[in-house]
Amino acid sequence: MNLTSGLVGAEVTGPIGWLIWDNQSKLNALSPGMYEDALEVIQAFAANDAIKVVVMRGAGRRAFISGADISSFKKTRSSPEAAAAAREAPINLRHALIHLEKPLIAMIYGYCLGGGMGMALNADLRFASTDSQFGVPAAHRGVAYAPEGLKQLVDVVGPSAAKDIMFSASRLKSDEALRIGLINRVVDAEELEKETIAYAEVLAANAPLSMRASKYFINQLGLERAERDYARMDAMQREAEASEDFKEATRSFMEKRRPVFIGR
């Protein structure tokens, strides 16, 4: 990987790939170059069969991502043309995260605000520390939040809760975020990484074709019927039914042992 911003890291520990937002002097705010580097990391993880699960996190424990780097707006939003170019990189990264054929977990410490909350919504699951905070300050910034990001928010928490978040621009503590379904788990900060790794390792031991199909099918069910790719869903079902992993699952059940899946 050729990461040039110096603000994004990548690590691999066993079957887990880590995408790390590392702009700690600005509470991991999203700055120019970070989207492109993150896209390269995700593409590398997608191509690596040894990586079964991807976790993204902010460096340190003060923030997942505190939002966009406002100091960069003078350059990136100086004209309609510059603003359009600046929107392209986040769109490309969002597409790669959503369509990653592996489970993606956001591990969240501290601030998860604005574009940071949008980034977390690209994950399949969100695990957060008890001291985490969530919000979108668009109404305080005079910003019309992108429809694609709003759809993700609505899909997760529903229209009424999404309007509350956007209209009020207030911050939600972890217990409220859990109550409305914005996050999946709340864990003490000292235990968050340990619990996230333990969960990721559970997923890594499961059948990759099954998880890939479940992720794709669930995402497809969020689309209108006319937009769904029923042919691909049928093909994925047939692929799983004919796979070595399906046979291994049957053998291991009969032999009373844990299955060893190979992803084909």
Question: Beta strand pairing status for 63-65 and 104-108?
Answer: unpaired
Per-residue pLDDT, 75? 64
| pLDDT (0 to 100) of residue 143 | 85
For 33-72, the pLDDT digits (tens) are 999 999 999 999 999 999 999 999 999 999 999 998 776 6
Q: What is the mean pLDDT of residues 79-99?
A: 84
| Structure confidence at residue 86 (pLDDT) | 72
Domains parsed from the chain with CATH numbers? 8-203 (3.90.226.10), 206-254 (no CATH)
Per-residue confidence at 115, pLDDT binned at 50, 70, 90? very high
Q: Each residue of 155-186: pLDDT tens digit?
A: 999 999 999 999 999 999 999 999 999 999 99
Q: List C-alpha distances in Å: 72 to 32, 82, 154.
A: 7, 12, 28
- CA gap 110, 59 in Å, rounded: 11
- Please give the order of strands across the beta sheet that includes 111-113: 63-65, 111-113, 133-135, 172-173
Distance of CA 115 to the CA centre of its chain: 12
Instruction: List, for residues 221-244, the tens digit of each pLDDT value.
Output: 999 999 999 999 999 999 999 999
pTM for the model: 0.92
Give per-residue burial for 165-196: e unless 16+ CB within 10 Å, then b.
bbeeeebbebeebbebebbbebbeeeebbeeb
Average pLDDT over residues 138-145: 89
